[in-house]
């Protein structure tokens, strides 16, 4: 249920609707050993499912799907002959690199640069030098390819937002005021920064509320402030309402390929206070949001207080600017650009 898988699903569906034959190949969920389940309890995450299989953004699309054994790499025998084969993750790039030419021209679709603890960084970085045309979701990732790996043959196709799912009527500020955030236990998403910023802002705005959603329940290692409202895997309609019930959305990421919640919140007329990572510099430019320094909860807190203390007319202007920026994006436009990149790659461009 990650944002990256959602993007893959959208492109698979849109390309299928455009008349292309699309097959999404994925590895099935691994079964958890008893020791892993006990460890989950000891870590405060509760007793997990016996299997990692769960609902997925890949469910229900008109494109074809093929689930493979989770314990081995993908080989030629698993993949049909095609015009193009796309790796959507660094490990998949290793597999695609070894596929025969019959499986299609090799493309590497990159939505992030996850140089983080717990991943084999050397292997991950090596995939950026593979002889595959790259499609990336932000100018920042294009810069990574060019500056760090000397690759100038990169297509940029920004992610988008479904304005039929994410929308809101023009509104005034909330009372009592509220800010929202996505909760993720890892450090990359900067949940700790957003939480700390809220706690600091609460001193100046005592009735400030915090609205949160996430794919997993909060960990005892990073608890939410007392009185926070948390939603686990909210349904699309509920997610839209969560965004629209806030005066500002907090985006504290340390690293990000794009940052889908930015556009989703803006489409719901909620201004975003964000760090300059992923697509945030482009999305929040020219008064469409507020950029704050990285790793600086005090700066984010000051922006929260500024938004909460705005006159309603000033807040409405910020809200309208956020909505106007989000309205410039659509998955149909993004899919046409993605398709165009693939067609050019297939033609040898």
Any idea where the domains of the chain sit in the sequence? 3-160+330-346, 178-326
The structure tokens listed for 44 are 């405060």
Q: What is the predicted pLDDT for the residue at 198?
A: 98
Q: What is the predicted pLDDT for the residue at 51?
A: 47
CATH architecture designation of domain 3-160+330-346:
3-Layer(aba) Sandwich (3.40)
What's the count of helices (H) and strands (E) in the chain, helices before strands? 13, 12
Q: What is the predicted pLDDT for the residue at 155?
A: 97
Give dist(CA 294, CA 252) in Å, integer: 8
Decide: helix, strand or coil at residue 344: helix
Decide: helix, strand or coil at residue 122: helix
Decide: helix, strand or coil at residue 87: strand
Domain 3-160+330-346 identical in fold to domain 178-326:
yes
Summarised one tens digit per residue, pLDDT across range 238-275 is 999 999 999 999 999 998 899 999 999 999 999 999 99
How many Cα atoms are found within 13 Å in the side-chain-facing hemisphere of 170? 9
- Does domain 178-326 bear CATH number 1.10.1660.10? no
Alpha carbon of residue 202 to chain centroid: 28
Q: What is the predicted pLDDT for the residue at 81?
A: 97
| H/E segment holding residue 142 | helix 139-143
Q: What is the predicted pLDDT for the residue at 40?
A: 62
Alpha carbon of residue 210 to chain centroid: 21
Q: What is the predicted pLDDT for the residue at 250?
A: 98
Segments of the chain with pLDDT less than 70: 1, 30-54, 349
Give dist(CA 52, CA 233) in Å, integer: 16
pTM for this predicted structure:
0.85
Give dist(CA 278, CA 4) in Å, integer: 13
Q: What is the predicted pLDDT for the residue at 3?
A: 81
Q: What is the predicted pLDDT for the residue at 79?
A: 93
């Amino acid at each position: 249920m990650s944002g990256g898988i959602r993007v893959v699903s959208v492109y698979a569906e849109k390309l299928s609707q455009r008349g292309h034959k699309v097959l999404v190949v994925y590895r099935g969920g691994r079964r958890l050993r008893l020791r892993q389940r006990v460890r989950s309890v000891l870590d405060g995450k509760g007793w997990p499912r016996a299997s990692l299989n769960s609902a997925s953004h890949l469910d229900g699309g008109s494109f074809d799907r093929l689930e493979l054994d989770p314990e081995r790499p993908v080989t030629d025998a698993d993949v049909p002959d095609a015009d193009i084969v796309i790796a959507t993750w660094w490990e998949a790039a290793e597999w695609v690199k070894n596929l025969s030419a019959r499986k299609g021209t090799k493309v590497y679709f990159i939505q992030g640069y996850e140089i983080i603890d717990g991943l084999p960084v050397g292997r991950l970085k090596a995939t950026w030098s593979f002889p595959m045309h790259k499609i990336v979701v932000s100018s920042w990732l294009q810069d990574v390819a060019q500056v760090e790996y000397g690759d100038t043959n990169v297509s940029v196709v920004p992610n988008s937002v479904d304005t039929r799912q994410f929308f809101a009527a023009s509104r005034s500020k909330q009372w009592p005021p509220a800010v929202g955030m996505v909760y993720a236990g890892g450090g990359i998403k900067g949940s700790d920064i957003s939480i700390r910023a809220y706690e600091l802002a609460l001193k100046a705005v005592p009735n400030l509320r915090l609205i949160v959603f996430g794919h997993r329940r909060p960990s005892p290692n990073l608890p939410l402030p007392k009185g926070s409202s948390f939603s686990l895997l909210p349904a699309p309609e509920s997610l839209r309402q969560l965004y629209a019930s806030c005066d500002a959305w907090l985006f504290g990421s340390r690293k990000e390929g794009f940052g889908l919640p930015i556009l989703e919140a803006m489409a719901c007329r909620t201004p975003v206070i964000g760090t300059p990572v992923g697509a945030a510099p482009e999305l929040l430019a020219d008064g469409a949001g507020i950029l704050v320094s990285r790793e600086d909860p005090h700066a984010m807190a000051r922006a929260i207080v500024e938004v909460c203390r705005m006159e309603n007319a000033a807040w409405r202007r910020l809200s309208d600017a956020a909505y106007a920026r989000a309205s410039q994006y659509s998955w149909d436009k993004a899919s046409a650009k993605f398709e165009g990149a693939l067609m050019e790659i297939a033609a040898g461009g």
